[in-house]
Amino acid sequence: MGYNALLKRMGEVNDLLCAESMLSWDARTMMPPGGADTRAMQLATLKVFARNHLVADESRRLLDAAEAETANLAADSVERTMCAHVREAIDYHLRIPAELVHRRAEVGSKGQHVWAKARAENDYAAFAPVLEETLALNREMAECIGYEEHPYDALMYRFEPGETIASLQPLFAALREGLLPLVKAIGEKEAPRVDFLQRPFPVEKQLAFALNMARKVGYDTDRGRLDLTVHPFEISFTRNDVRITTRVNDDWMPKSLFGTLHEAGHGMYEQYCDPAYTRTPLATDLVGLYAVGGVSFGAHESQSRLFENQVGRSREFWELNYGELHDAFPEQLAGIDAETFWRAINRVAPGFIRVESDELTYDFHIMLRVDIEAALIDGSLGVADLPEAWNAKVKEYLGLDVPSNRLGVLQDVHWSSGQVGTFCNYTIGNVMAGQLFAEAKKDIGVRDGLASADYRPLREWMTEHVHRHGRRYTREQLLERATGRGLEPGPYVEHLTAKYTAIYGL
Ligand code: ZN
């Protein structure tokens, strides 16, 4: 009785979070600008209601009863895993005073305005006090959450449970060792031509083609839809309604196509979660308070990166699908063959802006942010010295001199919204995608599918090993079950080395 009653109550928490997500989707796709102020209040209210419903005395009473009722089951049974998630989340939220959460949200909403203006005016000094305040609040937050070695570990916990600044160091070192020589070698080679990607591609046709490709790799539009936004995202209201957005540039065609494949990868993680987990703690992030099923932000990113990069930017994919693209854009792509197109979408061009970076240099943008955030949080780097430290890292990793803070330290929205500790998941996702794709390709059915533009076997492999489990296993357990190994950068580095060696003749 206790267990079922607990699930019923956690279903209500999921409902509240889905309602909040719906208002958020609307705010980012449909809402007129005038709605912004009251919508921010509506979102905050629903988030607080969800949190309070989760930690309420009644929930704790039901949890005690559910734990007693399931005590004789195996420790790794579904029932006890559900209970453990609820216990962990309640403990987490009760360690953080509501007043602190409120203060951080306030600094976040104020900070975004200050940041937008500071960025536009290239005025770091105007943003520095907000950053100082954000760091102080996050340090306070870290002390409440608790950690063993480094306060940054506490902040990462919400996004990438189990990951620490110490555990990231060998991973980052291996990536630097494997990838920096590639970046340097490519810098001395001639870049592939990309001019034809900048020809005018009509928006409607771009969207139609991108959605067609998303469907082809397995995104289910009976339980999803694609809309236009400034910042692409994926959002779900249970597995039965999983929406994605993209942005379209009429002078840079790859943006909409790869943005859509990326978000479709996120979407499939939600769409193919075990239906039995719907509205339960195995398909709800009760710590982060999001109605999502993925086990960590990095695991989620593994699915988006896999379909965007490992599949979508592969030579094999375009050997098979280029004809369809050419049919959709015969004038723009006149005289361009599949090989030329494939080279163009894989051009390496070290740049200043993370969200515009190519597959090879992306991780350097992440590594520099993680190192810098950790140093800011433990106080070994002061806010006044941040631009200098940032620019030095960009020079070291990408060989570039940052010309302005606008193209440097002021580019990301994250800090202005009060968030610290969210960056590592992008690189973890890349590394995991490399491991999972290499493992999936050992399956003859998956390989045959990839060789004949039938992506169903690959999607089913991912569903079997990743999607369906929701939050049933930890990220490391999931990887070990799927590949026999924990997180390791080998297959990812091999993938990049092979691809760029072929393109650039290294
Ligand atoms: Zn993503």
Query: How does pLDDT run across 308-335, given as a tens digit for each residue?
Result: 999 999 999 999 999 999 999 999 999 9
- Look over the chain and give the mean of its residue pLDDT values, rounded to a whole number: 95
Strands 234-236 and 242-246: antiparallel
Q: What is the distance in A from the centroid of ligand 1 to the CA of 69? A: 39
Q: What is the pLDDT of residues 59-99, one digit of tens each?
A: 999 999 999 999 999 999 999 999 999 999 999 999 999 88
Whether 388 shows a pLDDT value over 90: the answer reads yes
| Residue 350, token pair as written in the block | 């070290």
> Is 432 buried (19+), middle (13-18) or exposed (0-12) by CB count in 10 A?
buried
Q: What is the distance in A from the centroid of ligand 1 to the CA of 59? A: 33
Which pLDDT does position 467 carry in this prediction? 98
Q: What is the distance in A from the centroid of ligand 1 to the CA of 304? A: 6
Q: Report which DSSP code applies to 411.
A: -
CB count in 10 Å sphere of residue 355: 11
Q: Which amino acid is at 336?
A: I
Whether 172 shows a pLDDT value over 90: the answer reads yes
Q: What is the distance in A from the centroid of ligand 1 to the CA of 5? A: 35
Which pLDDT does position 441 carry in this prediction? 98
Torsion of CA 213, 258, 373, 162, to 10 degrees: 20
Which pLDDT does position 340 carry in this prediction? 97
Q: What is the pLDDT of residues 239-257, one digit of tens each?
A: 999 999 999 988 899 999 9
Cα(226)–Cα(112) distance, rounded to whole angstroms? 27
As a whole number, mean pLDDT of residues 3-20 equals: 98
Look at residues 45, 87, 21 and name the one whose alpha carbon lies nearest to residue 238: 21
Q: What is the pLDDT of residues 428-464, one digit of tens each?
A: 999 999 999 999 999 999 999 999 999 999 999 999 9
Which pLDDT does position 250 carry in this prediction? 81
| Residue 125, token pair as written in the block | 């000094």
Look at residues 311, 343, 347 and name the one whose alpha carbon lies nearest to residue 453: 311
Gyration radius from the chain CA atoms: 23
Which pLDDT does position 107 carry in this prediction? 85
Q: Which residues surround ligand 1, an ion (CB under 5 A)?
A: 304
Q: Please check whether residue 482 is in contact with residue 433, taking contact to mean a CB–CB distance below 8 angstroms.
A: no
Residue 354 CA to its chain's centroid (Å): 13
Q: What is the distance in A from the centroid of ligand 1 to the CA of 255? A: 14
β partners of residue 227: 245
Q: What is the distance in A from the centroid of ligand 1 to the CA of 368? A: 19
Whether 1 shows a pLDDT value over 80: the answer reads no
Q: What is the distance in A from the centroid of ligand 1 to the CA of 267? A: 10
Q: Please check whether residue 358 is in contact with residue 347, taking contact to mean a CB–CB distance below 8 angstroms.
A: yes
Which pLDDT does position 33 carry in this prediction? 87
Q: What is the distance in A from the centroid of ligand 1 to the CA of 189? A: 30
Residue 368's pLDDT band, with cuts at 50, 70 and 90, is very high
Which pLDDT does position 255 carry in this prediction? 93
Residue 37's pLDDT band, with cuts at 50, 70 and 90, is confident
User: Where do we find the tokens 């990838």?
Assistant: 179
Look at residues 422, 407, 410 and name the one whose alpha carbon lies nearest to residue 377: 422
Q: What is the distance in A from the centroid of ligand 1 to the CA of 262? A: 6
Cα(263)–Cα(308) distance, rounded to whole angstroms? 8
Q: What is the distance in A from the centroid of ligand 1 to the CA of 13? A: 25
Q: What is the distance in A from the centroid of ligand 1 to the CA of 25? A: 16
Cα(293)–Cα(284) distance, rounded to whole angstroms? 5
As a whole number, mean pLDDT of residues 333-343 equals: 97
Q: Is 11 helix (H, G, I), strand (E, B) or coil?
A: helix
Q: What is the distance in A from the centroid of ligand 1 to the CA of 263? A: 6
Cα(387)–Cα(397) distance, rounded to whole angstroms? 15
Q: Please check whether residue 183 is in contact with residue 360, taking contact to mean a CB–CB distance below 8 angstroms.
A: yes
Q: Please check whether residue 361 is in contact with residue 176, taking contact to mean a CB–CB distance below 8 angstroms.
A: no
Residue 104's pLDDT band, with cuts at 50, 70 and 90, is confident
As a whole number, mean pLDDT of residues 216-239 equals: 95
Q: Please check whether residue 243 is in contact with residue 286, taking contact to mean a CB–CB distance below 8 angstroms.
A: no
Q: Is 419 helix (H, G, I), strand (E, B) or coil?
A: coil
**Is pLDDT larger for residue 365 or for residue 36?**
365
Cα(63)–Cα(79) distance, rounded to whole angstroms? 11
Which pLDDT does position 359 carry in this prediction? 96
Residue 106's pLDDT band, with cuts at 50, 70 and 90, is confident
β partners of residue 235: 243
CB count in 10 Å sphere of residue 196: 17
Secondary structure element (H or E) that encloses residue 212, with its range:
helix 203-217
As a whole number, mean pLDDT of residues 494-505 equals: 97
Q: Please check whether residue 394 is in contact with residue 368, taking contact to mean a CB–CB distance below 8 angstroms.
A: yes
User: Where do we find the tokens 């369906």?
Assistant: 468
- Residue % of the chain over a pLDDT of 90: 92
Is 188 designated active site? no
* Phi, psi for 290 (deg, rounded to 5): -130, 145
Whether 389 shows a pLDDT value over 90: the answer reads yes
Which pLDDT does position 40 carry in this prediction? 87
Q: Is 244 helix (H, G, I), strand (E, B) or coil?
A: strand
Q: What is the distance in A from the centroid of ligand 1 to the CA of 414? A: 14
Catalytic residue among 263, 359, 439, 460: 263
**Is pLDDT larger for residue 102 or for residue 57?**
57
